[in-house]
Amino acid sequence: MKARLAHHRPPAMRRSPRLTRTLARLSTLGLAAGLGGCSILSPIPLLELAKGTANVTGVAVQSSSGKATDTVYHLHSTVKTVCIEYNPTAPVADVVPALQLELRKHAIESRVYQASAWNQNCPVWLRYTAYMDWGTQPYNDELRPYVNNISLTLQNERGQVLSTSNYRFDGGGFNSSKWASTRDKLGPVVTALVTGFE
């Protein structure tokens, strides 16, 4: 009987299950309040949702790739080597490296020459034009340049056009390629240029 009395508490000192749950919830909320980045406890949850959505949208808009347009492809033998005619009037510095990387993906070797440096060892020439414009990125007020138009033309040594393809800025929206890298914009255009498929 003594053992039973030792574990017995008076009614005033017993905790009810309801009180235990309430204390557990309060301690959990107290611990969560100590986490500065916890958006669940934000006094303005819709603001937190908007900020999160803006971040995801910004990444999606920036990472959309370009699309080839107005492709014309004349049947010709497979191209293994291309001479790129450097265009000093194109204001986009990374067009040539992006072109070479994309051509390499199609197992096409390339070399860059000045327009005046005619090379008899070049059976196929790639000529390009590129234009830039200025705009503001989503959620940013700072003006930045972006590539808005690229035209590629593949010609044989006699000047006959083998194929042409273009990239043009599509005008915006969430699938916009406006802020994509030059290489992301050029990839589909180079593919269309060498295969004929957009």
pLDDT in tens, 26-47: 666 555 555 555 445 555 655 5
CATH 3.30.160, domain 66-195, yes or no: yes
Give the pLDDT score at 1. 47
pLDDT in tens, 133-175: 998 887 888 998 989 999 999 999 888 999 999 999 877 655 5
Average pLDDT, the chain: 78
By the 8 A CB rule, do 190 and 166 touch?
no
Domain segments of the chain: what residues?
66-195
What amino acid occupies position 122? C
HEC string of 40-66 equals HHCCCHHHHHHHHHHHHHHHHHHCCCC
